Amino acid sequence: MIKRIDHVAVVVENMDDATAFWQDALGLKISHTENIADQESVIAFLPVGGSEVELVEPTTETSGIARYLDKRGPGIHHVCFEVDNLQATLDRLDAQGIELINREPTTGAGGTRVAFVHPRSANGVLVELYERGIATE
């Protein structure tokens, strides 16, 4: 079951330039940043209400985020929903014929379990599913 929107991810070309807008212009404050080595990106979270804006900058020119940036430019990358039970949600979506990028959870920010739904099954939107409080080893 979907509980809430956890965050909206925005791909940026340069984290310093991006935070000038999000922090200085809008007044949001970065709660934490993290280098996600296996995704070749650095992320910054800016809490707002009960959700967050996640800024994502590629750290290599060959990462998936870099390819996305080259193809589509900066902007909204995905919407992340918090779910009650990630594996049960993935199993239910798979049984419904929904195209999943990850049939099994992977490690996301903070070591938590995440999985993605392919945009072809979500009206062109990359959807991340996230289970709060469940970390991988």
Return the pLDDT at 136: 46
CA-CA distance, 24 to 19, in Å (whole number)?
A: 7
Q: How far is CA 6 from CA 52, 56, 97, in A?
A: 6, 15, 24
> What average pLDDT does the structure give for the chain?
93
CA-CA distance, 74 to 64, in Å (whole number)?
A: 13
* pTM recorded for the entire structure: 0.89
- Find the mean pLDDT for residues 90-95: 97
Tell me the pLDDT band of 38, cut-offs 50, 70 and 90. confident
The CATH superfamily label for domain 2-135 reads: 2,3-Dihydroxybiphenyl 1,2-Dioxygenase, domain 1 (3.10.180.10)
* Pairwise pLDDT comparison (111 vs 85), residue with the higher score: 85
Three-state DSSP state, 109: helix
- Find the mean pLDDT for residues 24-43: 94
